[in-house]
């Protein structure tokens, strides 16, 4: 399968008021101009309280990792506080409500749905029988999640420092696959049981 070239750019977005609030999936304020491809990385700095009701994050899974402060997240029937130990995941087709508090900063990781689902299909060796869905809460202290964060941080470092790997499309594609694979393995989802079964069958 031929994959499109991945371009990853880190953008810092400052939110100073609700009127100017923007997200990587906001169609009115297309922050996505800062990035393209499978994975996008952003820093968000909230200078005031902000409430968002995105109907749909689009064709992306959006991982929101607080670096300071807290937020109240409602996703479907679940409501929880997102803190420096609990990230949140927004996903296609699942409306969410988010109340960010003044002084919060976040690292936001945007993962293209098509790339993630195609990669999952390749791992399983069969088409998906239902859309990929993740648990909306991400426990950042779990060892598997820490491993995924380390991969993301390495990608962030390479992009920030304009390392030579970012000019090598084949290397970047391999890097992307590592991040996607670890995300599928680390974060509970509706295919976790099949993934575990596949791993056990190979050991």
**Cβ density class 4-31: b for 16+ within 10 Å, e for less:** eebebeebebebeeeeebbbbbeeeeeb
Binned at pLDDT 50, 70 and 90, residue 30 comes out as very low
Residue 105 is predicted with a pLDDT of: 83
Burial of 161-177, coded b for 16+ CB within 10 Å and e otherwise, reads eeeebbeeeeebbebbb
- pLDDT-derived band of residue 34, with 50, 70 and 90 as boundaries? very low
Sheet containing 137-139: give its strands across.
10-15, 39-46, 105-112, 60-68, 86-90, 137-139
- Say how far apart CA 56 and CA 108 lie, in whole Å: 16
% of the chain residues with pLDDT over 70: 71
Q: β-strand 60-68 against 86-90: which pairing, if any?
A: antiparallel
Burial (Cβ within 10 Å: 0-12, 13-18, ≥19) of residue 114? exposed
Which range scores top for mean pLDDT: 54-68, 126-140, 145-159? Answer: 126-140
Residue with tokens 């749905």: 113
* Residue whose token pair is 């393209």: 36
| pTM > 0.75: yes or no | yes
Q: What percent of the chain has pLDDT over 90?
A: 35
- Least confident window among 27-36, 70-79, 147-156, 169-178: 27-36
Sign of the CA dihedral with 29 first, then 31, 33, and 38 last: negative
Among 96, 95, 61, 93, CA closest to 82: 96
């Amino acid at each position: 399968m031929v994959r499109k070239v991945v371009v990853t750019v880190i953008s810092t977005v400052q939110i100073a008021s609700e009127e100017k609030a923007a997200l990587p999936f906001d169609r009115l304020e297309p922050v996505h101009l800062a990035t393209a491809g499978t994975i996008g990385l952003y820093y968000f700095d909230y200078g005031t309280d902000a409430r968002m009701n995105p109907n749909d994050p689009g064709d992306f899974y959006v991982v929101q990792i607080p670096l300071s402060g807290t937020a109240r997240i409602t996703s479907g029937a679940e409501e929880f506080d997102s803190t420096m130990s609990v990230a949140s995941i927004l996903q296609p087709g699942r409306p969410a409500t988010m109340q960010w508090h003044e002084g919060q900063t976040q690292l936001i990781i945007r993962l293209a749905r098509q790339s993630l689902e195609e990669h999952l299909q390749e791992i399983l060796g069969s088409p998906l029988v239902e859309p990929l869905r993740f648990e909306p809460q991400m426990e950042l202290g779990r060892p598997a999640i820490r491993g995924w964060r380390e991969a993301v941080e390495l990608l962030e470092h390479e992009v920030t420092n304009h390392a030579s790997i970012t000019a090598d499309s084949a290397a970047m594609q391999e890097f992307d696959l590592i991040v996607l694979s670890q995300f599928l393995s680390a974060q509970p989802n509706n295919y976790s049981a099949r993934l575990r079964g596949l791993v056990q069958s190979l050991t």
